[in-house]
Amino acid sequence: MHKRQKPARGSGRLDKQTVLLLIVNGLLITANALSGTFLGVYIWKASNNFLLLGWFTLLTYVFMALTFWIAGNGVKEGNKMVFLRLGIGVSAVFYSIVLLLGKSAFHYVWLLGIVQGLAIGFFWLAFNVIYFEVTNAGNRDRFNGLAGGIGSIAGMIAPWCSGYLISRMTGESGYRIVFMISLGIFVIGIGVSFLLHNRKTEGNYDWLMPLRILKKRQTPWRPVFGALAAQGLRESVFGVMIGLLVYIQTGSELSVGNFALITSTVAFISFYATGKWLKPIWRRRGMLIGTIVMTAVIVPFFFGVSYATLLTFGIGAALFIPLYTIPMTSAVFDLIGMDEDSARERVEYVVMRELALNAGRIAGMVIFIVTLYFSRAPLVINGMLLVVGSSPLLSWMFMRNRLVPQQK
């Protein structure tokens, strides 16, 4: 069994294993940024149906949540690296199915939603457990900042390249090439993952621990669960809507790529700066500022949705979202590692974290589908976006006491 080689507690240094984990994460994000950015556009162009896209996303989140809970047993009692590679491999299978189905893919959104949910669930459960094992309270903000920066670089380059290819090629050729490139990157990601060490976890998987923990009145996990659910609420709706709205407003995949390039450039700078300079003592104030601005940038939509208002939203959100996500992520994983007993049950706590996020994502998609079912009037949709988009304020309210560094 490999010894846990990690920096001393309080150190901001990253070792070889954390760097390898960043590379694996970067490869997966790049592959998904190449193809995933345009998957919603691809399905919408074929079906011209927002509700169909909503059902696809809802199925993804439902099966993601089920995968987290069920696969937790294998991650704790088996080899978590197998599940990390399985997540990457099933992602490759997902895009292979899209390639095989072509224009008829939208007829099989149920199948695509299930497969994507499995892929994301396997990968992120294993990734988050490994992330906890190779980082500590002193370097998590730095790791999260670098991970966000890498994701932003991928978001800058990959969607623009995809948009350029798709816009320059006829028919489905551009989409097919982009999906095939993603397959190749997934294979590389599996190869790099073999350099990561598998750290053995102790004990048996406790299937019902999340429910038992949440039943306790004084547990800090109750407000944390609410904060994570609020985070997931925003992620689900805005993850579906923004890129698609850019395409609808411009009719151009290249414009979607340009939008991603601009907003990801801003996010890269912000993630780097936040990861480098945000200290644990500043988490509470920083997160409050981030949540307020992230809500405020939705207001211009009420004056008309255009490429300009979408870009204003995108830049504002990209600039301030690191102040929201970095404190949230670091504080939650600090809570998991607060003592030895908690650290031994890290798999169950990671599962609980992901179940909370997916509870919010599922709720967000239900709100999205129900809203569109009853009305597609711009005022109604904008109102829905404002309500859902203000959910980070709930996250801050739930988390504000956890964002203060705990005395040892």
- Residue 86: give the domain boundaries: 16-399
* Any domain includes 5: no
* Any domain includes 408: no
With a CB cutoff of 8 Å and minimum separation 6, the contacts of 316 are: 293, 294, 296, 297
Task: Read off the CATH number of the domain in which 284 is found.
Answer: 1.20.1250.20
- If one counts the domains in the chain, the total is 1
Mean residue pLDDT across the chain: 88
* Any domain includes 55: yes
Residue 245 — very low, low, confident or very high, per pLDDT cuts 50/70/90? very high
pLDDT of residue 12: 59
In tens, the pLDDT along 179-233 reads 899 989 999 999 999 998 888 777 789 999 989 999 988 889 999 999 999 999 9
pLDDT of residue 199: 80
Residue 3 — very low, low, confident or very high, per pLDDT cuts 50/70/90? very low
* Any domain includes 391: yes
* Any domain includes 193: yes
- Residue predicted with more confidence, 403 or 331: 331
Q: Specify the pTM.
A: 0.87
Residue 408 — very low, low, confident or very high, per pLDDT cuts 50/70/90? very low
* Any domain includes 1: no
* Any domain includes 200: yes
* Any domain includes 8: no
